[in-house]
Each structure stands twice: as structure tokens, then as C-alpha cells.
Amino acid sequence: MEFKDYYKIMGVAENADTDAIRKAYRKLARKYHPDVSKEADAEQHFKEVGEAYEVLKDKDKRTEYDQLRKLGARGHDGNFRPPPGWQARNGGQQTSADGDFSDFFSSIFGGFGGAQQAGHRTARQTFRRRGEDVHSTLALLLDEAHQGGDKQISFQIQDSDEHGHLRRRRKTLKVKIPAGVTRGQQIRLKGQGGPGMGGAENGDLFIEIDLAPHPLFVVDGKHLQLTVPITPTEAALGASIKIPSLGGPLNIKIPADSSGGQKLRLVGKGLSKAGDLIVILRISMPKQHSDQARELYRQLAAETQYDPRADWGNLA
């Protein structure tokens, strides 16, 4: 059986990265597409390119293929010579790849392949290939992420025109965003990616959520943090104050004898009902004081005799 040099077929170096391999595949697929190519043996070349791409784009398949190359699996006559004791990794089971591959591919990875299967397929079925998955990012305002709703998203997919020429085109969808989505969360829309070839299924659309910065809230997963300035009097005596939240204003109680940096947790008031709102108290001083206010502060200092740095000991 002939040994397939997938790197030579793709026209890439053995250390080519994923992007280089993808670009080479797109170029060659366009060149040998059976609907438009005038190249000699275009169908056979198209099939070989598809098989090479199936191996080199997959990390596990490529690793196994590279190991066979290093072990000298290609004989002097160009045929495949399995190293002693080597076996196909999946024992000849059906591969998840969608296509009609060679005996060489099947001997390594299992699945359909070889001339015995090809006789039962039409020429069009030979070129079945699942559409590309598409990854897109959707930036939301914090209120939009909290409430959910419909959003319009545009992205590019690869398909072919009426003449069979490969092209990139823009696709627009209205997407239902669930309430309480978080940064980094992915939404999968099955079949909304690139169209399949030869009747194969379409790829999927994966939307990754990003959140725009908010002037007040800091996002921590499903939890929110809000720094709330309070006066020294409110910190000492306690108070009832109004604060913002994504669900509307809230009334909260500041405990007496509160200190700066103290945290209050409001359960279920975060980015969703599963998240909390963490209120961080910050004591805020007026920028100017009247003479009377300064005198009151002096009386307070004399009355309390409080040293906030007492635990420093001899370090200061």
C-alpha cells in the first residue's frame, strides 16, 4: 500500500502550525474543487488534500502520523511498512471523519476507506465534508447580560457561489441571550456555522460572551462588587442608605462601628440569582471642614483615645 506524504500533498513544512495548514487547505481546495477545477485529476487531488487536512489539523492524528514517519514506515519503494509490533490506534473502528479515505488512512486510523468502499459511493458523495465551526465574540453591557434578550450578531462563513467558487460571506443572526450570562461563557448554535459540502452537515456557531466595563460594578464570575462611600458619621453610628443594583435601587443598613474595607454580602443580587452583590465600604471624608467641625473632631479624638496603629508595636 502506498505511503501518503501528507506534508508534501499539502505543500507545507513538517513544523507548519495550524494556521499555515488551514491556509494551505483552503488554497488547494479552491484549486481542485471538482465543480470548477480544470486541473488534470482534480477529483483525486481534491480527495488527497481533504485526507491530508483531516490528519494534519487534528493534534492526535498528526502526532501518530509523525511517529510513523520517524519510525521509517515508508519503504524504499514508497510503500507503507508498519513498524514491528505497531497497531492502528483504534483497531480499525469507524473514524468520526466525514469522507472516503484511502487504505493508508484506514490502516492507521480505522474507518471507511479503500477501493472496496469507493465502489458503493457516487462521485458527489466522495466529497462530503462537514462545514467549518465558526467562533465569534459578543460584547454585552452588564445590564444586557443580567436581563438577557435578543441580540443581533454578524460573522463570516466560508461557502461557495453558484459557480462553485469558494468565498467568504457575512451572515447575520438574531440570537437569544439567556439571562445571567458571564464573561467567557459560550453559546453554541448547532448548524449555524459554515455550510457542509456534498450534503454533509453544517458546522456550528460558537459565541463567546464578553462584558463591557461598568462604571460602578466589578464582575467576578456571577458575583458583583460595589464600593460604597460612607461618611465617618454613618460608619460610627450606622445608617440606612440607598445603593444601585442591576435589578434596581436597594435599601441597605450600614452597621454601627463599621470600618473601611468591610464587606456586606447581598445574596442573589449579583449578575444572576446565583450571584451575590458584595458591598465594600469606603469611608469618605469631606475635602474641607469648618472651624466648628475641626473643633468637634478634636473633642472626638480626646474622648475616644483611639490609636488605629496600636498593633504595629515597635515597628513604627
- CATH 1.10.287.110 domain range(s) in the chain: 6-126
Q: At CA 97, angle to CA 136 and CA 172, rounded to 5?
A: 25
Question: Tens digit of pLDDT for each residue in 132-187?
Answer: 899 999 999 999 999 999 999 999 888 776 665 667 888 999 999 999 999 999 99
Instruction: Give per-residue burial for 75-104: e unless 16+ CB within 10 Å, then b.
Output: eeeeebbeeeeeeeeeeeeebebbbbbbbb
Q: At CA 273, angle to CA 240 and CA 234, rounded to 5?
A: 15
Q: At CA 5, angle to CA 166 and CA 60, rounded to 5?
A: 80
Strand partners of residue 252: 241
Q: Which CATH architecture has domain 6-126?
A: Orthogonal Bundle (1.10)
**Check: CATH 3.20.20.100 for 217-304?**
no
Is the pTM for the entire model greater than 0.95?
no
Q: Topology of 134-211 in CATH?
A: HSP40/DNAj peptide-binding domain (2.60.260)
Question: Tens digit of pLDDT for each residue in 227-268?
Answer: 999 999 999 999 999 999 999 999 999 999 999 999 999 999
